[in-house]
Chains A and B, each alone.
Chain A
Amino acid sequence: MTTTDLAVRPLYEGADWDFDRLHTVFAAIEEVGLKDLGLDIYPNQIEVITSEQMLDAYSSIGMPLLYRHWSFGKHFARDEVLYRKGLRGLAYEIVINSNPCISYIMEENTMTMQALVIAHAAFGHNHFFKNNYLFKQWTDADGILDYLSFAKEYVSRCEERYGLTAVERVLDAAHALMNHGVHRYPRRRALDLRLEEKRQKERREHEERMFNDLWRTVPAKADTFSPFSDRDRRRALLGLPEENILYFLEKRAPRLQSWQRELLRIVRHLSQYFYPQRQTKVMNEGCATYCHYRILGLMHERGLITDGAWLEVLHSHTNVIFQPEFDDPRYGGINPYALGFAMMQDIERIATAPTAEDREWFPDFAGHGDAMAVLRDAWANFRDESFVLQYLSPALIRKLKLFHVQDNAREPTMVVEAIHNERGYREIRKSLARQYDIAWAEADLQIVDVDLSGDRKLVLEHRAMNQVVLDEDDARAVLQHLADLWGYEVVLEEIDSASGARLKKHTVGPRTIIGQATVGA
């Protein structure tokens, strides 16, 4: 430490943490985060937990409370082995998109790690959750915890009433279809999970009040008029095509009982809640990583943390943003932390010290001066796909030495389509962005038809991009779940999106009828 810095004493020395220090350091981080970086956050709640509790939280997709299901136990069992054997470290933090924003920190961490985690999660992620348009549109930070506790209780009540196996069967099927349980486009009404919970209660009470066994005895009309005679009319009535499979089943599956529909709804809400996170991995982690780097960097400059602590920060930081190259055995895809952080730094550079190339590519903000304003704007208004498409600069493409390879199964070899040169920038940027487009990365499945007056066969279509069909075994297993829920045969046709040619067809009948058709159900 030089003599000029002596005026400010570091907030702490050494590795030990205690609650007083946490408070002091939190206050310092808050000061830098809010004043220097201009972050806008939900109130914070920091919870100190043990590594065992972290494992718990880890395996229930990071949520503090969740209904019971074997799949969480499975993840726990696996994580536990990896962790105990030292094959994998635990995440240092888990942060929950809720209001207040809850961050978990582990008691085993050093004081510096706690500071890093607070800056990363309680400020970086928190700001992102609060400001990104997808989260604003799709998630209800105020209601999520209440909704989860409702869901947990609802599931356990169902288990008591209908048995573990019956509930498990529905949840298994719902989980298999979870990724196809989101509305991709916002509807008019904002999501309010608390209201949702209340409404469920009302629905149930209403049903119970209205139930009258007498109706069962009313003789049916002999010649029932079927409105579903013509295909287009039928499809319109059912709101087809529908890509939210869980939603469709919940509303239309003929044999499900109301509690089974409610379970589907719970899984669907959960899926919807995580949908923005799936679309913003690079940005979210990039934002959080950039924030902790900046905040702690500033604190170090001001002498609030020691050189030793700063080195520890750098050590963890570089581990997190490590990006092996494609021919490295450690390569496992592009690290969202690495790409995100690199892009954030690049934006900062372009905003403050642009080159002629940057000015040409980013006339809107090159040399803008206020890097934080540019970044905050990007964090608020983009998702991974559009963010890469908009902000990936030639300079960064060169730095990461990105190249684009096409693998056509019909060709004997793969072809390098573009590399990091003048001709390749746009091409690389486009295809990298597409990798993050969830609509493109995930199979595009829709329910296209159902024969309600006939054999009730459900028809789905997979629009196969570039002739890549679904993994057959898994697809059949999921279709099996789907058929079980639907109660009748299900057909999946795989159609080449370019030519419209049919590539494959799967047909699966129901195995066990989940919604044991009971009278009046």
Chain B
Amino acid sequence: MNIIDRRLNPKGKSLANRQRFLRRAKAQVMRAVRDASGKRRIRDIDTGGDVTIAPDGVKEPTFHRASSGGIRDVVVPGNKDFIEGDRIPRPPSGGGRGGREGSPDGEGEDEFRFVLSREEFIDMFLEDLELPDLAKRKLATIEDYSWSRAGYSVTGSPANLNLVRTMRNSLSRRIALKRPKADEVQRLREEIDALERADSHDAEALSTLRAELELLLRRSQRIPYIDPIDVRYNRFQATPKPVAQAVMFCLMDVSGSMTEHMKDLAKRFFMLLYLFLTRRYKNVEVVFIRHTHRAQEVDEDTFFYSTETGGTVVSTALEEMLRVLRERYPPDDWNIYAAQASDGDNTSYDNARTLHLLSEEILPLCQYYAYIEVGSDPEMVPVSFSSSGRESDLWQTYKGLQQSGGPFAMKRVRHRREIYPVFRELFARDQAATGVSA
């Protein structure tokens, strides 16, 4: 008999099978993830979780008998009071009878439930938005660098000269090349001097000493005290320092003209932004601000699901954002991002104020400000004048800002599948870089 401890054997033997299964069920899983992410809160977007899929694509059919029809015999336990010849009403279809045959689907595969890991969920979520691979893209800039010592280099600015290291190199070179020391030369000079002063000078000894001195002097000239090859500079390396926290402002117009579809687009955009920020910062806070003609900071549910109508005054939202910012998020400590979603309507007298607020007060504080203009689904609604050609009030207002090159970007989104490309465009590396350097 043999007892073997296999506990340390590699785990996850089914990983390959699981991947095959996910690949197989991809269409359904993606649909499930899409549904799930619609219901999810923004903060929960990057956790894994249960998904339920229809068994269509992952069904494994076999030849088996239909669950009804024909004559069936079954022996069951637990007779209480039946006697031979009794007639029993048929149990409601699908339930009971014999158990084994009961389920309408043959093997009870009405729905298939399993848990996706966090990575799998995000992959699928992003996949739904038709993006290749978020992780591989360096989406934006690094705000801050920390410099750390990283050894020595042979080049550098004089300010970074490392004296100790340079002198040590110089000393070892001088020793190795036998550069005469100053006191040696001094001693020789004194000896020559003494010989010269003495009357009975030994001409031969004097010339030897002189030759020796000359040799030493020549050598000290050839072998410099400090040679360029001795010089060392301190080398510094720039390590990008991820600034630890960020706040994301979600501004949304909730006036009557915003449809559910538009809010859904906005939510997806915010989700992506959140996902993106959580990947870069340890701590991301989300502030939801909705506005009609009044603006208000609200929680997520109210933000997306409450119905409030009123006129549209965009500047109120910006003011509310500034207020929250000043109260809670000092720009020195926080990276500030904002995304504004709107269908583009604004009361005409407000445009100038909006522009002023944005360009003078908000943009200087922000890392990045994205404006997305959401439109009706072109596949649902026939292309009308509002969704084609004509530029909205806000669009016209903001157009100038975009050209001025601030950390500002704007895009139009009409369909879910446009969100990711737009997002990528907004946060593409070069654009963000110019944005931040401004």
Contacts and interface: CB of A to CB of B under 8 A. Distances in A.
The judgment on whether A and B are partners is yes
A48 B5 contact: yes
Contact of B71 (A49, A333, A408): A408
Interface stretch (A143-151, A378-386, A474-482): A474-482
A467 B70 contact: yes
Contact of A477 (B14, B61, B96, B114): B61
Given A409-B71, A435-B75, A469-B69, A416 B50 contact: no
Interface in B384-407: none
B90 A323 contact: no
A164 interface: yes
B69 A414 contact: no
B7 A107 contact: yes
Given A69-B20, A73-B21, A334-B76, A403 B1 contact: no
A44 B2 contact: yes
Given A22-B3, A416-B84, A470-B63, A74 B58 contact: yes
Given A325-B77, A471-B106, A70 B17 contact: yes
A84 B115 contact: yes
B83 interface: yes
Nearest to B72: A407
A70 B307 CA distance: 45
A30 interface: yes
Interface in A61-90: 68-74, 76-78, 80-81, 84
Contacts of B85: 415-416
Contacts of B7: 48-50, 53, 107
Given A73-B18, A419-B83, A405 B63 contact: no
Contact of B63 (A80, A406, A419, A475): A475
Contacts of A464: 70
A430 to B, nearest CB: 9
A520 B398 CA distance: 68
Nearest to A473: B61
A428 B75 contact: yes
B84 A445 contact: no
B60 A176 contact: yes
A71 B60 contact: yes
B22 interface: yes
Contact of A474 (B9, B17, B62, B82): B62
Contact of A471 (B50, B66, B87): B66
Contacts, number: 265
A165 to B, nearest CB: 9
A49 B21 CA distance: 24
B157 interface: no
A119 B321 CA distance: 71
B64 A474 contact: yes
A443 B63 contact: yes
A265 interface: no
B215 to A, nearest CB: 76
A369 interface: no
Nearest to A104: B6
B108 to A, nearest CB: 10
B25 to A, nearest CB: 8
B70 to A, nearest CB: 3
B241 interface: no
B14 A73 contact: yes
Nearest to B21: A73
Chain B interface, >50% SS class:
loop
Interface in A235-281: none
Interface string A312-343: 00000000000111111001111000000000
A60 B17 contact: yes
A423 interface: yes
B414 interface: no
Given A43-B1, A80-B114, A332-B100, A435 B74 contact: yes
A180 interface: yes
B59 interface: yes
A407 B58 contact: no
A53 B6 contact: yes
Given A435-B75, A471-B67, A419 B113 contact: no
Contacts of B20: 68-70, 73, 164, 168
B221 to A, nearest CB: 72
Given A81-B113, A419-B79, A424-B84, A443 B4 contact: no
Contacts of B96: 331
A417 interface: yes
Contacts of B88: 405, 413-416
Which of B4, B20, B68, B100 gathers most chain A CB within 10 Å? B20
B80 interface: yes
A140 interface: no
Contacts of B67: 471
A70 B58 contact: yes
A331 B115 contact: no
Contacts of A416: 82-88
A322 B247 CA distance: 58
B71 A467 contact: yes
B89 interface: yes
6 pairs of A and B residues whose beta carbons are closest in the complex = A325-B78, A73-B21, A73-B17, A468-B70, A77-B114, A477-B61
30 contacts: A19-B3, A26-B1, A47-B3, A47-B5, A48-B5, A53-B6, A68-B16, A72-B17, A76-B17, A81-B115, A100-B2, A168-B24, A326-B78, A327-B78, A402-B75, A402-B76, A405-B75, A407-B73, A414-B87, A415-B87, A416-B85, A416-B86, A416-B88, A442-B64, A443-B65, A445-B63, A474-B61, A475-B61, A475-B63, A477-B61
Given A81-B50, A327-B78, 19 more contacts: A19-B5, A46-B4, A53-B9, A59-B14, A74-B25, A84-B115, A179-B63, A324-B78, A326-B77, A326-B78, A400-B77, A414-B87, A414-B88, A415-B88, A419-B82, A419-B83, A443-B64, A470-B65, A475-B61
